[in-house]
Amino acid sequence: MTEKQKAKLKKMFVLDTSVILYDHSAVEHFGPHDVAIPITVLEELDNFKKGNDIKNFEAREFIRYIDELSSSSRLQEWIPLGGKDKGRFRVLMSHASEIDAEKVFGEEKADHKILNSALQLQQENPKCLVILVSKDINLRLKARSLNLIAEDYETGKIQNVSSLYTGIDELHNVSDEAIGELYEKGSCDSSRILQNPPADNHYFILRGSNSSILAYFNPEQKRIERVDKMMSYGIKPRNAEQTFAMHAIMNPAVKLVTIQGIAGTGKTLLALAGALEQRRNFWQIYLARPIVPLSNKDIGYLPGDIKSKLNPYMEPLWDNLKFIQNQYSENSKEASKLKEMVEQEKLMIVPLAYIRGRSISNVIFIVDEAQNLTPHEVKTIISRAGENTKIIFTGDIFQIDTPYLDTQSNGLSYLIDKAKNHKLYAHITLQKGERSDLANLANELL
């Protein structure tokens, strides 16, 4: 069948469990096409409905959605989803296809039952194009080996990582007079440097024939302003990118910051130092990072109370805190203040699972390793922000530890792509490693 012939066929999408756990509203995102889930998916979701993790929330929300759909219709029959340009929904009750995936792959498991359901739907609808949608690469490969079309779930996925917003531009041949005005007055009209207004809070390295300067676009004043290198709680930026990141962290007008960069670029350290410098402006500092279970085991299998269970995952955050503390002598006022903040829970390391349902006010909130979050998790965190709250997401979109996310579908990439050019938001991509020459060697050569 040619691509043109395929394009003319009606489409039926079969969703697996990974898609539902990624986005409970996935059924609504296939336009006029029909969407189905195998009964096996509902059985698997039943195992995820209890707990505080985001996947547990997604499972519960989808089960409620199905319950509402089935209140006046039978799930094994096609149910109109309602609304303009919407298709139908159905639960596939049987998984007895002519080609038996369980026999082909020699194992009885949920994935193979899902494949059989999709194959049976294809047999029943030869004039339709049945497509299996899964976040599981291995399941997609198995589907294709059975001559079944398989795709990733595209909603919330950015198209091109190489063109992802970096937050920084380096401009050459800038008028020395304009640079001189920035040095002297601290700001100048953006038209003196740029033909068109840039994105809000965008940063620049401006180079003239005899001088250069760091600057950013102030969206309130609509002017280019000078950016000065500033020290925060003993930590001084080591390059232009770090200077911009610290400026964004310290800028009270910016309430949402993302910092993307490879290991050793100083993302977490800068965020923590900047937060500590602003400690008087907030009631608390929260530090969090997603818990990516070891060997696919939940933290429940670890011994001890919740604090003991979390410590192995949160150790990198404590390492950064110790590094800042080591900038001062043990008996200094700054070192004592850090200890006091931890003891009085003014500075807290918290699991993200406990954020849901809370309203977080007067807090500066640092979320490390944000590339391991889904777009929905990022939205959930930001939606918790109350008055006088600032949120900083840090991470490396090329170092993802969860099986169903990639550089295009993770929450950090999604946020950078969607939030750019908003006056409350600033983003910086850090590219130069500053941890050590040895760390740089690993990033460059290995």
pLDDT surpassing 60 at residue 301: no
The alpha carbons of the chain give a radius of gyration, in whole angstroms, of 25
Residue 169: strand pairing partners: 204
d(CA 168, CA 205): 8
pLDDT tens figures, 64-82: 999 998 888 889 899 998 8
Give pLDDT, residue 302.
45
Question: DSSP string covering 207-229, please?
Answer: E-SS-EEEEEEETTTTEEEE---
- Name every residue whose Cβ is closer than 8 Å to that of residue 236 and which is 6 or more positions away in sequence: 229, 230
d(CA 304, CA 365): 26
Residue 318: enclosing H or E segment and its boundaries?
A: helix 306-325
pLDDT surpassing 60 at residue 254: yes
Name the 3-class secondary structure at 416.
helix
Task: Say if CB 22 and CB 136 are below 8 A apart.
Answer: no
pLDDT tens figures, 91-148: 999 878 889 899 999 999 999 999 999 999 999 999 899 999 999 999 999 999 999 9
Amino acid 264 reads: G
Residue 257: strand pairing partners: 392, 426
Axis-axis angle for helices 267-277, 306-325 (nearest 10):
80
Stretch 214-233: mean pLDDT, rounded? 94
pLDDT surpassing 80 at residue 53: no
DSSP tally for the chain: helices H, then strands E: 15, 17
pLDDT tens figures, 147-174: 999 999 988 888 889 899 999 999 999 9
Of residues 424 and 445, more confidence is placed in 424
d(CA 25, CA 359): 24
Of residues 385 and 300, more confidence is placed in 385
Residue 263 pLDDT level (bands cut at 50, 70, 90): confident
d(CA 192, CA 213): 14
Share of the chain above pLDDT 90, in %: 62
Q: Show the CA angle centred on residue 437, arms to residues 432 and 441, nearest 5°.
A: 80
Give pLDDT, residue 82.
80
Q: Report how far apart, in Å, the C-alpha atoms of 8 and of each of 3, 11, 45, 114, 127 are.
A: 9, 9, 34, 26, 10
The model carries a pTM of: 0.85
